[in-house]
Amino acid sequence: MLIIPAIDIKDGKCVRLTRGDFEKKKIYLDNPRDMAIIWRKQNAKMIHVVDLDAALTGKPVNFDKVKEIVSVLDIPVQVGGGIRSVDAVAQYLDIGVGRVVIGSAAVTNPELVKELLKRYSASQIVVGIDAENGIPRIKGWTESASIKDYELALRMKKLGVTRIIYTDISCDGMMQGFGFESTKRFAEKAGMRVTASGGVTGSEDLRKLRALEKYGVDSVIIGKALYETNFPCQKLWYNYEKGMNLDRNFSSALRRECCS
């Protein structure tokens, strides 16, 4: 089960939201790049980045911040949030992003996904389905789609998509456990590789997730639980890294260490 730390960017800062509510945000670090360095130092093998401002506007508001993250890491970076055109995808892939996540556009413009899969491999283009009570939410979770979550997944599967990032919105950022039943139901019906997301609170949730591997759930994105150091031994690492002055020289030194 691959664990993927999440970095959400709003107004250029690293934040976490509660159930996607932009009014309920908590700032963890002013520079998302420094957060990426911390997660890499803690042995992350992939980082999931979301441009929250872009999710609302459809424009890559925090593109430069994403570029900074890619530049200091030696592991794949997966990016989502407001990516709704071929040009936007190309822009991210050109700076070294490993995977691009298509969310709202999978509902509003499925032809975009079809076109992207003609140009790029299925490993580079994944679809994010953020659902509440089985119904996908789009445009920064401000609107509901008129299709069920697994129906959307099957539609994407026909186009050639092989992986879905599935988020149960009702659990996201609540620190009360992830949506086991909703994720299981979705994975069973979709029959695809699934990255779970939203609500993982501690080691017990990870144990439960292992039971879903037989349904195709092979990875999980974790946000707030990591930031709040809910896992054994993590607090020591986190406090040590956060307490240091992550200036450019330190960042460069840490990057060299990570790459060695």
Distances (CA, A) of 143 to 49, 102, 106, 167, 170: 22, 16, 14, 15, 15
Q: What does DSSP say about strands 47-51 and 21-29: parallel, antiparallel, or unpaired? A: unpaired
From 34, 130, 168, 172, active-site residue: 130
- Other Cβ atoms less than 10 A from the Cβ of 111: the count is 9
Residue 8 designated active-site: yes
Sign of the CA dihedral with 14 first, then 78, 37, and 197 last: positive
Both structure tokens of 56: 């609302």
Residue 47: CA atoms inside 13 Å, Cβ hemisphere, count? 30
Residue 94 designated active-site: no
Q: Which residues contact 202 (CB under 8 A, 6 or more apart)?
A: 225, 230, 231
Q: Which residues are the active-site residues?
A: 8, 130
